[in-house]
Amino acid sequence: MNSAPPMLILASRRRALTGNSRSLSRAYKKGELVRVRFGVYYNKSAWLALKPWQRYGATIGAVASSDPSAAFCYLTALRLWRLPLPRVPAHIHIITESPHKAGRLPATTQAAKDPKTGLTGLEQVRGYGISRHHWTADIVEHRGVAVTSLVQTVIDCVVRMELPEAVAAMDAVLGSRRASSEKLTRQQLQEASALLRSNAKRRRVLEVLALADEASESVGESRSRALMHVLGLPAPVLQHAFYDDEGFIGRTDFFWPEQRVIGEFDGDAKYLDDAFLGDMSTREAILAEKKREDRLRALGYQVVRWDWQAATNAALLRRKLSAAGITVQKSPPRGPIPPALPGGLTT
C-alpha cells in the first residue's frame, strides 16, 4: 500500500521518526488507542465513532499496512472495486499461495481493559478477521493495494452469492454510470465464465448475466427485479419515460404495459441523501414525487411502491405486486431463494 489511510497509526513509522514506538504501547495500555493489527493503531474514541463500513475499510488499510504482500479478493475486493454488498463482511478476504494457509483467523482488533470496569469498550463493536483463500488469482493494483482483477472479482462473487446480491453486483459493473476503467462488458464476462472449470459455476454466471440490466439505477431496483424473477412474475420494462399534456413526467423504475402498472422502489436516499436531493429539501422532494405520481395516475396507470423491507422479502414483494395485478405467469425458475451457506461460500 502506498501509504496508510488517514487515522491509522503505524508503529513502524513512529520508530522511523522517533527511534522507538513505546509511546504507542503506553497509549494503548492507557486505553487511548485501539490495536487494529499488530503494529497498527487507531484512536479509540474515533474508532468507536466509525460506522461499520468505515471500520471495515480501516481494517483493510491496517491489513495492507502490516502486510504489504497481501492481495485482497472475494467480498473485500468487491468493496474495493466499489460494487454493492448487502452487508459488511465478517472477514477481510485475501489470497494465499499455500493451500495449507487457507482458512479463517479471528479478528485482531483489541483494546486494553479499563481497570475499574474490566471492559475494553469494544464489546458491542464488531471486529473483522482474516479469511485466506487458495485459488488461481489475477492480481492487479487498484486504489493503492493488490486486489483480484475486476472481472475475476465479479466472477468469484457471483458464483458464491445469492441471486439478488449477484444481480445487484452484475447490474452495477455493467452500468453506464461507472467509469470505463471500473466497468465490464457482457463479452468480457462471458469470456471469463468460459474459463471456469465448473459447469455449475459457468451456468450461474450466465444465468446472472442474462438477468442483468444496465438500466437498473440502484441496488434496491436490482434486488427487486431478481426477486420478481425468482417469484415467476412477468419481467418489467425499466426506466420507461412518461409524458402528458404538460410534457415530460419522468422515468419510472418498473413498468408493466399490459397491466398498466408502474412500480417504484423507494430507498431512503431518495429523500434523505443530499446527492439525490440536489437543491431540494426532503419536504420538497416528497411533494414533487407526489405531484409526479398524480400525473401518472391521471394517465390511467396504477402506481405501487415498496421499500427495502419488500426488496429483501420475497413474500412481501409478491403480496404488494399481486395486489396491483402483477401475478405469477410462469413457474418460478429456481423455486424459493436458497439460504446462504455459512460465510457466503459454496461447495
CB contact at 8 A, 75 and 152:
no
Q: What is the pLDDT of residue 331?
A: 62
| Side-chain half-sphere CA neighbours of 7 within 13 A | 19
Q: What is the pLDDT of residue 260?
A: 96
| Residue 313, C-beta contacts closer than 8 angstroms, at least 6 positions apart | none
How many angstroms separate the CA atoms of 165 and 163, rounded?
5
CB contact at 8 A, 343 and 130:
no
Q: What is the pLDDT of residue 65?
A: 93
CB contact at 8 A, 156 and 137:
no
Q: What is the pLDDT of residue 177?
A: 80
pTM: 0.85
Give the number of other CB atoms < 10 A from CB of residue 133. Answer: 17
3-state secondary structure of 255: strand
Query: How is residue 346 annotated by DSSP?
Result: -
In the structure grid, which three cell numbers stand for residue 26, read together?
A: 503506553
How many angstroms separate the CA atoms of 174 and 187, rounded?
11
Q: What is the pLDDT of residue 289?
A: 81
At residue 176's C-alpha, the angle toward residues 202 and 195, to 5°, is 20
Q: What is the pLDDT of residue 314?
A: 93
Q: What is the pLDDT of residue 287?
A: 81
Mean pLDDT by runs of 10 across the 347 residues of the chain is 69 90 93 95 95 95 93 97 94 93 93 92 93 94 94 96 95 89 94 94 95 92 95 94 93 95 78 46 72 92 94 94 89 45 32
Q: What is the pLDDT of residue 54?
A: 95
Query: How is residue 339 annotated by DSSP?
Result: P
